[in-house]
């Protein structure tokens, strides 16, 4: 008891002003406190506000949450080992301060590094080891690694293995995998979480648990239910997947006068039944051509095979695409990773080790699922709405294939069979004034509203990793369950209730909480600690 109470005093001292606590000194403090040295706090050195600001901003990927008015943490803890994470959890719980957990900082609503109450950030970026075991076709990857670092680590060991996760290389593994991340091998292999075989997590008691120790319920929850509701993800053990020596990518643009509506309409019908080796993303953007506002559709493809086999599939089954041999680019899987990340063809794989994106915009994202093809008249009305509304673009991500074969309850991620494609609504801007912020957010909300007749309903489903606070939030108070159910059923459908039961078991006092976390069934009365 002496250790916890004394260490709590140290943390309270730090909370008096914004500072950053280095975990090497945290470790020193822990060891000294164990020996009951009353002067141990002198070993905990801190650095002042400029360094905290640098660390905070280095992993912010949405400028909406990097302004002077954005709430700032009182401490950022940057752990170097599991022990540091455990100590931080125990001490933050003891004094009742909110803990935000950040891996890559790509969460669209800034939930991992912003709060309206006093909070600490546990920033995992130093825990970034990637240990690939090609013999067993597995890898342990720590939560603070980026997808780029993971892909590079796989490529170093094998040219015919990959992993079905996202196309943005600076995304953090911890958030991406725990939220059910996906990529351009979705139709062949499903989601990232469909290939997780073990994990390490720090629970609310500060214990480091693997799959055997945490049990199958918690292991199920952190594979698509969002890890930050249940503990701190330290690492995942993943199963690698085979990739051919040659894959083919393509990029086909169409405008309205180039049969665009026909192509988008038939895309909806074709992608449910076409070869599972083919994934096609459709990027729809308002555009100006010959001084006239219009819409452009860009079909971006990934095929696990060579161009001859690809064309033997698309020519008879999807002629509206108009794919030709010159459109096809054959390459290795790792080069396709670079291609999808928009690097030019002279870029080498070591660029994947760069954790800093070229630019960071103001942005807002939303999501939907389409289960019935949008009719041609609906598409034509959509083109007009996009032109009228302004800048908002849509991304269609094809489903079918392996996604149709996995039951909704297999993981917390429920959006499986019956979905033709997922929509991401997207708008970016660079203006830094409040009027622009309101204008662009209104634009994306208006287009989302326009799409209501064409997307899923009861519930209107959403994708957890496209975090969207518009669909509901919780204040983590006495109504947290009813509040959580609003957004929870949109993210998880029938899996929400199981997630709540697991949360109530593993974290009954709701220590691991955020604006869209999984609530507990335990009332606030009797909870330990101070809820801020």
Which CA distances in Å does 414 have to 13, 177, 178, 188, 422?
45, 15, 14, 18, 13
Q: What's the rounded Cα separation, in Å, for the pair 450 and 420?
A: 19
Q: Which residue has the tokens 């083109």?
A: 383
Q: Is the peptide bond before 31 cis (omega within 30 degrees of 0)?
A: no
- Exposed, middle or buried, 453 (CB in 10 Å: 0-12/13-18/19+)? exposed
Q: What's the rounded Cα separation, in Å, for the pair 215 and 209?
A: 9
- Kindly give the residue spans of alpha helices, DSSP state H, lying in 327-393: 333-340, 376-389
Q: What's the rounded Cα separation, in Å, for the pair 91 and 12?
A: 10
Which CA distances in Å does 198 have to 188, 215, 235?
22, 11, 9
Residues 6+ away with beta carbon under 8 Å from 36: 2
DSSP 434-445: HHHHHHHHHHHH
User: Active-site residue among 152, 163, 425, 466?
Assistant: 466
Q: Which two tokens stand for residue 369?
A: 């699922």
* Nearest CA-CA partner of 420 in 403, 433, 437: 403
Is residue 108 annotated as a catalytic residue, yes or no? no
- Cβ pair 461, 421 in contact under 8 A: no
CA 195, distance to chain mean position in Å, is: 16
DSSP 92-129: HHHHT-EEEEESSS--TT-TTT--SS-EEEEE-TT---
Which CA distances in Å does 92 have to 7, 321, 432, 475?
10, 55, 34, 19
Cβ–Cβ contacts within 10 Å for residue 488, how many? 26
Residues 6+ away with beta carbon under 8 Å from 136: none
Which CA distances in Å does 489 have to 76, 434, 459, 464?
32, 32, 7, 11
Which CA distances in Å does 479 have to 6, 97, 390, 519, 525?
34, 20, 38, 9, 12
Give me the active site residues, please.
Answer: 466
């Amino acid at each position: 008891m002496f250790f916890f109470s004394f260490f709590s005093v140290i943390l309270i001292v730090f909370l008096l002003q914004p500072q950053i606590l280095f975990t090497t000194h945290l470790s020193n403090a822990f060891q000294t406190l164990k020996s009951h040295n009353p002067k141990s706090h002198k070993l905990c050195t801190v650095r002042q506000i400029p360094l905290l600001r640098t660390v905070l901003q280095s992993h912010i990927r949405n400028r909406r949450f990097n302004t002077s008015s954005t709430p700032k943490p009182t401490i950022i803890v940057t752990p170097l080992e599991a022990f540091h994470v455990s100590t931080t959890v125990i001490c933050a719980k003891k004094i009742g301060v909110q803990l935000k957990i950040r891996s890559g900082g790509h969460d669209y609503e800034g939930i991992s590094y912003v709060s309206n109450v006093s909070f600490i950030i546990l920033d995992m970026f130093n825990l970034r080891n990637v240990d690939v075991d090609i013999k067993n076709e597995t890898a342990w990857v720590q939560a603070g690694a980026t997808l780029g670092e993971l892909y590079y680590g796989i490529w170093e060991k094998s040219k015919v293995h990959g992993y079905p996760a996202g196309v943005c290389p600076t995304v953090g593994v911890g958030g991406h995998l725990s939220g059910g991340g996906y990529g351009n091998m979705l139709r062949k292999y499903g989601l990232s979480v469909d290939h997780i075989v073990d994990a390490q997590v720090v629970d609310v008691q500060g214990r480091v648990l693997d799959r055997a120790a945490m049990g199958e319920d918690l292991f199920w929850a952190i594979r698509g239910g969002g890890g930050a509701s249940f503990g701190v993800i330290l690492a995942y053990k993943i199963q690698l997947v085979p990739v051919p020596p040659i894959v083919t990518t393509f990029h086909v643009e169409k405008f309205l006068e180039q049969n665009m509506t026909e192509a988008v309409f038939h895309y909806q019908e074709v992608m449910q039944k076409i070869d599972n080796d083919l994934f096609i993303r459709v990027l729809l953007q308002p555009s100006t051509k010959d001084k006239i506002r219009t819409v452009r559709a860009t079909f971006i493809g990934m095929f696990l095979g060579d161009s001859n086999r690809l064309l033997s599939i698309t020519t008879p089954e999807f002629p509206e695409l108009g794919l030709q041999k010159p459109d096809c680019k054959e390459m290795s899987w790792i080069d396709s990773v670079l291609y999808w990340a928009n690097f030019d063809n002279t870029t080498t794989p070591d660029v994947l080790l760069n954790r800093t994106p070229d630019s960071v915009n103001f942005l807002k994202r939303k999501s939907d699922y389409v289960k019935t093809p949008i009719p041609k008249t609906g598409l034509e009305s959509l083109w007009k709405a996009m032109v009228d509304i302004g800048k908002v673009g849509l991304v269609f991500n094809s489903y079918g294939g392996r996604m149709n074969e996995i039951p909704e309850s297999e993981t917390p991620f429920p959006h499986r069979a019956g979905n033709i494609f997922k929509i991401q609504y997207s708008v970016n801007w660079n203006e830094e004034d409040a009027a622009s912020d309101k204008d662009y957010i209104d634009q994306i909300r208006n287009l989302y509203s326009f799409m209501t007749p064409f997307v899923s309903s009861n519930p209107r489903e959403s994708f957890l990793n496209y975090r969207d606070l518009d669909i509901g939030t919780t204040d983590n108070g006495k109504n947290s369950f009813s509040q959580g159910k609003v957004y929870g059923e949109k993210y998880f459908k029938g899996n929400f209730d199981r997630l709540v039961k697991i949360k109530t078991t593993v974290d009954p006092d709701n220590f691991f909480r955020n604006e869209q976390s999984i609530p507990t069934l335990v009332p606030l009365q009797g909870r330990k600690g101070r809820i801020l």
